[in-house]
Amino acid sequence: MKEEQLGWVTRDGLKMYGRIWKPGGEPAAVICLVHGLGEHIGRYEHVASFLTDDGYVLTGFDLRGHGRSEGPRGHAPTYDLLMDDVEDFLREAAQRYPKAVQFLYGHSLGGNLVVNFCLRRRPSLKGAVVSGPAFRPAFRPPVWKLTMGKWVYSLWPKLAMPNGLERAALSRDPAVVRAYEADPLVHDKISARLGLDLLNSGEWALTHAAELPLPLLLMHGSGDRLTSPQASEEFARKAGKFCTLKIWNGLYHEIHNDPEKAEVVAFMAAWIRKQLVKNDQ
């Protein structure tokens, strides 16, 4: 596996950081990854190892306000700017691999962004994959936090609060949780604006699921205590034939970091391979 860095400047002037992991030969496809809340692309290097062994390029970037990208931690001025960032990321990947087909892959917050991007921007992709998408939280957010968020949404949108995520619920592998807690690039911040935009965009995606324009693999751990598996099941029912739903029995939020991670990534790679065969016919 070879690696190189990726970078560009957003439409509102922020420097973005990304990485590209490459197989030895010509790639079968380019998989473009959007990570979850509070984390960064570096936490997916083991996923890259699996996928490059299968002949795929994996590329990803740190969302604004995350990792090595610029911006206030855990904040985005508007949801549309996040959509623009994903669009520009796909353009950067296409410039490096102009002949390769693209798949968009998102986890948690990234899953919310990927599904909304497909529904709202209708990109020219061969398919998309999401895991543990943040359509709805698996827990009831504190009433005081929702009330405060609505009050400061316009008055003080950058106000950041702890995101309240239960770290032990990330993975059944204690080493993954310890590494997450010790990672200096991980943060626990979410702004009032991003928090409410995330909740609203999740509900919007559920309402518009039947408009899904391309093949989607939707995966969720049944033991997820952070984002709702039931919301993923609701989306899949509404989306119909374009959506393939895979519920992983007993797995936690980061299914790619649970002990069954090799099986999870292999399932994803096989689904992508199936889409490529369809496209060749």
* Residues with catalytic function: 108, 224, 253
Question: What's the farthest any 2 CA atoms get from each other in the chain?
Answer: 54
The pair of three-digit structure tokens given for residue 229, joined into one six-digit string: 């598996």
- Residue tagged 């306000």 (tokens): 65
Residue 35 exposed, middle or buried by CB count within 10 Å (0-12, 13-18, 19+): buried
Would you call 200 exposed, middle or buried from its count of C-beta atoms within 10 A (0-12, 13-18, 19+)? Answer: exposed
| Neighbour tally for 84: CB within 10 Å | 16
Distance, in Å, from the CA atom of 105 to the CA atom of 102, rounded to the nearest integer, reads 10
Q: Residue 193 is encoded by which pair of tokens? A: 């604006």
